[in-house]
Amino acid sequence: MKISRRYLLSTSASLTAGAALPSAPAMASSPALNFVSVGDWGRMGKEHQTDVAVQMGKTAADIGSQFTISTGDNFYENGVKDLNDPHWQGSFETIYTAASLQSPWKLILGNHDYRGNVQAQLDYGATHPRWQMPARYFKESMNLPDGGVADFFYIDTSPFIQAYVGTKVDISGQNTAAQLAWLDAALGQSTATWKIVVGHHPIYTAVTGDDHDQPDLIARLDPVLRKHDIKIYINGHDHALQSVTMNGLTYVTNGAGSQTYDPGVPGRDGFVSGAHGFMTVALTSQKLDYSLIDMTGNVLFAQTITRA
């Protein structure tokens, strides 16, 4: 695997460049729950979607990935029309063909998915078990190989974005207060070793600014995460790879599965890249190691988050 550069970032958000270059994605030294994640991808293989998928398959095999998380915007530009939409084959089934990517996909909705038939995405898993989207938001618990449990909270952020009201992003009828109450209660009841929250939209980004940070989520979602001492929030939407740690909470933007842009330099003390790519995670009871990897296999950024 080729390596370009590595940054080691502690949970105190101190940045160290020029550390020893890794030869593989960040991985735990003890048995770990390994998985990959990709966001903002479904473009019939275009905009380097296929290239990302090929490398993701290779990396997933290398780390023994057990599942894939999608951070939303599964189909561009307008979601899917129905269960027979060409996107199912052209953007998913014939793209992510590696044996290592045939394990379950845990998926959430993005704003572009809300421009189409959301129910079709909820229903697709009934006949295609790799596709796991049981509801617009849901929780899943997984045992860790070295003991302990990881609880994953998959949330639906589009209804929180006020700018979508009255647009093609049809969020009508979605009760954000009920979703927040569910999340607050579920996080509070969880006794898991790790609580990981996955949403489509960023809360904070390393780039900064209202076109990247989401004020609606800063106001309503972020306080709930901090109330329950969440260590990491993973999202897509911004078509880049980013990471920023603020007061003990790491925000990772993983939205580079196809079309990307040049995000420039960070506005905060963090990492940004416009490379096409994806994310890997190795999770043990004591730490979470993740890497952001480009479509040629370069590890662009790696961080270790500990429970302390």
The pLDDT tens digits for 75-134 are 999 999 999 999 999 999 999 999 999 999 999 999 999 999 999 999 999 999 999 999
Rg over alpha carbons for the chain, rounded to the nearest Å, is 18
- C-alpha 75/C-alpha 79 separation (Å) is 5
Residue bearing the bigger pLDDT, 188 or 208: 188
Q: Which CATH superfamily is domain 7-306 in?
A: Metallo-dependent phosphatases (3.60.21.10)
| pLDDT tens string 1-11 | 333 332 333 22
Residue in 64, 121, 114 with CA at minimum distance from that of residue 92: 121
In the chain, at which residue ranges do the beta strands (DSSP E only) sit?
Answer: 7-9, 15-17, 33-38, 68-70, 105-107, 131-132, 138-143, 149-154, 194-198, 232-235, 241-246, 249-254, 270-273, 277-283, 287-294, 299-306
Please spell the DSSP secondary structure of 145-156, one letter per residue: TTS-EEEEEE--
- C-alpha 115/C-alpha 112 separation (Å) is 5
Residue 12 has what pLDDT? 27
Confidence of residue 307 (pLDDT cuts 50, 70, 90): confident
Residue 98 has what pLDDT? 98
Cα three-residue angle 242-243-244, rounded to 5 degrees: 135
Confidence of residue 144 (pLDDT cuts 50, 70, 90): very high
Confidence of residue 205 (pLDDT cuts 50, 70, 90): very high
Residue 30 has what pLDDT? 73
Beta bridge partners of 270: 244
pTM for this prediction? 0.92
| pLDDT tens string 244-275 | 999 999 999 999 999 999 999 999 999 999 99
